[in-house]
Structure 1
Amino acid sequence: MSKTILRTTHSPSIIVDHVSKSFLKRNTHSFKEAFVGFIRGKKVRADRFTALNDLSFQIGEGESVAVMGMNGSGKSTTLKLISGVLEPDSGAVYTRGRVAGLIEVGAGFHPDLTGRENVYLNAAILGMEKHEIDARFDEIVEFSEIGEFIDQEVKHYSSGMFMRLAFSVAIHVELDVLLVDEVLSVGDAPFRAKCSAKIKDLTAQGVTMLVVSHSVNMVRDLCQRGIVIKKGKKIFDGPIEEAIEVLNKK
């Protein structure tokens, strides 16, 4: 079922309802193998990899929740489903309000446009009107700390500069839900601290946050609750310290 936007004011901000998602995984790993197989009349096998298996949880307004697990557990797939980048094979995902996702560093940036032009492009994608962007442009640039590079094409930006600008745009949108996937691990310590402080400020204002990170210190600092996923299944949902303990045992 496609993502649906909840309008009821008393609803949770995010509902993941018995969601499953799988992807095709081909067993032929190179063009040479595929060509030899074709000559021999051998069919290329394609198996399915189950990324998520009947996953369910709810997140209330203003909660800061970490999605945790080892590589390949389904964490990033979960965020992509909530953001609307992917659709579930079964089950449903519901969100309430405006969702801003920092799923990949530089995602949504056009390499041949300048930082200034990408601010307007990304903010428009997130639902801001031009007059809103005009009013907040200086704040966005100031927070990103890349003012001297704002009129350069972003293909010349480092990954840290991408992250700074993408994060700054997202947090200056009137958002209800913020999704963050590892991008706060990019950049220097002072900027990461500033981002963490801003996220805490947003959650204090009622913004819901869902974060994927391998950094125990980061999730401990930002989140009160942790959801641990293993091989696409939820194995724990509770206080962040207990979630960290469960993760460390797996």
Structure 2
Amino acid sequence: METQCRRLEGKVAIVTAATAGIGLGIARRLAREGARVFICSRKQAAVDETVAALRVEGLDVSGTACHVGSAEQRAAFVQAAIKAYGPSVHILVSNAAVNPTAGPLLETPREAFDKIMDINVAAALALVQLVAPHMPRGGSVVMVSSVTAYNPPSPIAAYAVSKTALLGLVKGLAAEMGPDGVTVNGVAPGIVPTKFSAALVADPRLERAQVEATALKRLGTPEDIAGAVAFLVSGDGAYVTGETLVVAGGMPSKL
């Protein structure tokens, strides 16, 4: 889809886990709106391939490998973005997440739960702590949560609870960063068929059930989520902070 608006001219954006799925959709949309975008993924080959593909589209995108669970790699990633695009980072989109286990909370191994919370929550906060000193007034942080945060389903309960934690992280950071003119928000996607969510739509009957759970009777796309993020980080979303926008086609969401 051709994007006509260029609301992000002159801005630098960092997007984590941006070589596929929702993260790639967000990186592409922000770049189409004029931002210079610095991305990461765990594998350098994936980053190189994505950067090359987006540059073919005429977009200003660079990136490097980064495992967001590593403090050293997080710091190197942020410094690489600053080296590539200058000292100011106007936009941070924290999208990286893992889900190494399935099943109810009462059966979730402690090791798996700790890993989920470390990557999905603690690393997200750590990235904000690294970027905040470089974020000028008018900057924006967006956390990618999930519609499952509002009512964690048993098959992916631990993952969903980590996304619930992001709702609180958004509120807390918004209060702290607001006086500096920085907005902090979240987006809570519904079911978007990607490699990460493949298990949720692997069976045609399961996929149909997911579709029927929406008011719009369709699953989401990376572009759906990217449009919401672009709004939140643009001037159009400048008076929105501390909120998590559910982008789930009308799936029930209540905390």
TM-score, scaled relative to structure 1: 0.34
Q: Which has the higher strand share?
A: 1
TM-score, scaled relative to structure 2: 0.34
- Higher Cα radius of gyration: 1
- Structure number with greater CO (CA < 8 Å, separation at least 6) is 1
Q: Which has the higher helix share?
A: 2
